[in-house]
Structure 1
Amino acid sequence: MHVLRVANFVSPTSGGIKTALRAWGELYQQAGHRASLIVPGPGPEISEEEQGLVYRVPARPVPGTGYSLMWSRVGMSRLMDAIAPDALEVSDRATTRWMGRWAARRGIGSVMISHENMTGILVRRTPIPERPSHWAADAINRLSAHDYDAIVCPSWFAAQEFHRNDLDADVVPLGVDLDVFTPVRDLRDGPPPGQDGPIRIAHCSRLSPEKNPALSVETVRELVRRGHDVELTVFGAGPMLDDMVARAQNLPVTFHSYITDRRELAVELGRADLAISPGPLETFGLAALELLACGIPVVCCDEGALHEVVGDGGVVVPSTPAAFADGVEELLGRRGARARARAAAERFSWPVSARRMLDVHERVAAELRGRG
């Protein structure tokens, strides 16, 4: 099977989607399939990588987001026709929805992966009131379900947007490379954090409104107010960076330059005592999972899918600075916190995730053959 993957919201500083695309592509190829990928440029450029052939095509920058989007349907259709895949996998429900109809006209199966929570994005990033946002999200999701042969979501939280409208959606959790993201310190209990210096806290996510990164800074402010000696390191880039730097003035917060090497990132993350993951709209939470794999317990919010990932590897609290500070204090006193974090991460595997994605593609192909 030749699987063509297409993703619009991928940039040089992307996190989870880019990681998932790379992991799935490599594992599809290892399983004996072909994988191709189309993402925004700069381009045009074609490169042969472990995840298959990657086509980077011209794209138009979207101001203030860090993303560039591929808009040309004519150019994209010609490229997709030239690639001639057996199956289509699209990681975007809105700007590329027409591709489901493209696949149907050519008699090949199409799968849309819902990496984002449309309802939450409309509520938090547009002036649309909450109830109309739900209506708009439901309309978009119904169109996606109509245009694609299958919908895949990385969590039950993400799938709920479809299930609430009686639309089918497979749940395929993402994975983590446990050999790359591995503890750099002993998992056994040692001296309590903070005995030999500040309590080291990590924040790792894109700095954009839907991730609510300001909550991490405000949690530090609350911890300092309570008399804790803490130090927050922020790993990530995005449109809110300047705002975050201004908000963190006079607080023990360091903004780390963007790290492209995954092993280097794992080492840096592994130096933390614990981490904060405040994203209320996470449809999975790959950054939190990578922290857990490094043996770093995580305080996460009770919104979104993070609680599905963190499990016993941290604590789940409401999205307020006081509640997050309480969560930090709870983890500081929890015995075996690092070992429990690593154990939580070991529940997730990229090979299992890729196999389940291929199962979806093979089921869709079988259904199409049955109709023919």
Structure 2
Amino acid sequence: MRIVHVANFYGPSSGGIKTTLHELGRGYLKYGHEFIYIVPGPRYIKEQTPFGLKITLPSFTLPASGGYQIIRSNKQLLNLLEFLNPDRIEVSDRFTLLKVGRWAKQHKVASLVFSHETLNGLVKKYAPLIPVSFRNRFVNWHNRKLAASFDTVIATTEFAAAEFVRIKTTNLRKVALGVDLQGFKPENRDHKLRKELLKGAEYLLVHCGRMSPEKEPARSVQAVSELVKAGVNVRLIIVGGGPLWNKIRKQSLGLPIEMLGYVASREKVAGYLAAADIAIAPGPLETFCLSALESLASGTPVVASKSSAVGEILNINSIRPAGAVASDNGADFAIAIKQLLNKGRLRKVAREQAEKFSWANTVDAMLDVHGAKQPMITTKRRLKVA
């Protein structure tokens, strides 16, 4: 089976979408399928990768996005799809790639779209003055249009699915994403690195994610400020770059905060996550939050926004959750962090929770959506790289 995945917002510093593409590709290839992923880039390029054939199409960069790119020509994209003749199409962009779903229906190719974002949350965040009734009508209209354009809508959590459940979407499927349980593990904790990062502090906190408005990185800075006022001897390291980097750096002045910028090495990121006592995931719009799951896999409990899907991942309503949730303000985050620190070690709980989310499970669920359960269909045709 030839599976083609089209994704915008993919790039050198993109996190969750890039990881998802690579892990899906790796899994599909393992079962004998052919995987081709089409992403934005500087020009037309084809290259074989360990995750399948990667094709980049000329793109433009979204202003003030920190480098996010979008494929420039849908016409070129659709011509390429016609040439590739896929058996299945996957899309990671609920906003600019609706034409791909319509093309797939016209050509009788099964298609699915990942709803990686909460449209209701984005509209509320970036257009807060719009009346609630109008916002709900707009969100419902767009989500109906999205669901009608593709055969299947994939939501990664109940939180992500909620706005589709509200309009009684009949082609909705829930597929949880996974985490690299070998690359991120408690054994990565390096006590020498931890000591270097602490710089004499008692507790080490980590924030790993893009410095962009929807991620609310300032919340982590505010939480540290509140903890310092309360006499808690903490130090925060921030891993990630983005359009708010300079603003966050200025807000961090005078506080025990170190900004490391974007870190390309997954091994280094894994080391930072394992070294910390608590990871902070303040984004209120997260529909999954891969960095939070990577923290859990590293044995590090998470404090997350009560407004996001991360509480589901933490199993927050269980007897012993793998972290805590807080209201969307620095003071409440500081209280949750302090309470979690007082609870003692939760490294085993965090790791056990992460182990429920493997990429093998994700790939198996996706192949079920594609109607390709084991035994898998061996690919009979390959696209040669020019």
TM-score, with length taken from structure 2? 0.89
> For the residues of structure 1 that align with 2:3 and 2:64, how far apart are their CA atoms?
32
Equivalent position of 2:74 in the other structure: 73
Deviations for 1:179-214, whole angstroms, at most 9, x for unmatched residues?
A: 10011249xxxxxxx896331100011111111111
How far did 1:264 drift?
2.0
Equivalent position of 1:173 in the other structure: 176
Say if 2:284 and 2:307, in contact at 8 Å, map to a contact too. yes
Amino acid at match of 1:142: R
CA-based RMSD: 1.8
Say if 2:58 and 2:72, in contact at 8 Å, map to a contact too. no
Closer, same or farther in 2 for the Cα pair 1:74/1:309, shift >3 Å? same
Mapping of residues 119-198 of structure 1, within 5 Å:
119-126=120-127, 129-131=130-132, 132-168=134-170, 169-183=172-186, 184-185=188-189, 197-198=201-202
Q: Describe the SS at the equivalent of 1:138.
A: helix
Equivalent position of 1:18 in the other structure: 18
Equivalent position of 2:33 in the other structure: 33
Query: 1:277 aligned to 2:278?
Result: no
> For the residues of structure 1 that align with 2:8 and 2:232, how far apart are their CA atoms?
43
Amino acid at match of 1:48: Q
Amino acid at match of 1:156: E
How far did 1:134 drift?
2.3
Equivalent position of 1:337 in the other structure: 346
Amino acid at match of 1:179: Q
How far did 1:228 drift?
1.4
Say if 1:122 and 1:128, in contact at 8 Å, map to a contact too. no
How far did 1:257 drift?
2.8
* Residue from 345, 364, 374 that aligns with 1:355: 364
> For the residues of structure 2 that align with 1:173 and 1:254, how far apart are their CA atoms?
32
Q: Describe the SS at the equivalent of 2:185.
A: coil
Closer, same or farther in 2 for the Cα pair 1:335/1:249, shift >3 Å? closer
Query: 1:256 aligned to 2:251?
Result: no
Equivalent position of 1:95 in the other structure: 96
Say if 1:233 and 1:254, in contact at 8 Å, map to a contact too. yes
Structure 2 residue ranges without an equivalent (≥5): 191-197, 316-320, 373-386
> For the residues of structure 2 that align with 1:60 and 1:231, how far apart are their CA atoms?
38
Closer, same or farther in 2 for the Cα pair 1:195/1:95, shift >3 Å? closer
Runs of 4+ more than 6 Å apart: none
Equivalent position of 2:233 in the other structure: 229
> For the residues of structure 2 that align with 1:125 and 1:14, how far apart are their CA atoms?
21
> For the residues of structure 2 that align with 1:214 and 1:149, how far apart are their CA atoms?
39
Equivalent position of 2:7 in the other structure: 7
> For the residues of structure 1 that align with 2:237 and 2:345, how far apart are their CA atoms?
23
Q: Describe the SS at the equivalent of 2:333.
A: helix
Q: How many residues align?
A: 358
> For the residues of structure 2 that align with 1:275 and 1:269, how far apart are their CA atoms?
7
Equivalent position of 1:190 in the other structure: none
- Residue identity over aligned pairs, in percent, reads 39
* Residue from 298, 304, 318 that aligns with 2:308: 304
TM-score, with length taken from structure 1? 0.93
Amino acid at match of 1:182: K
Say if 2:206 and 2:272, in contact at 8 Å, map to a contact too. no
Say if 2:201 and 2:235, in contact at 8 Å, map to a contact too. no
How far did 1:275 drift?
1.2
Equivalent position of 1:321 in the other structure: 330
> For the residues of structure 2 that align with 1:302 and 1:271, how far apart are their CA atoms?
25
Closer, same or farther in 2 for the Cα pair 1:67/1:185, shift >3 Å? closer
How far did 1:126 drift?
3.3
* Residue from 271, 281, 298 that aligns with 1:267: 271
How far did 1:149 drift?
0.4
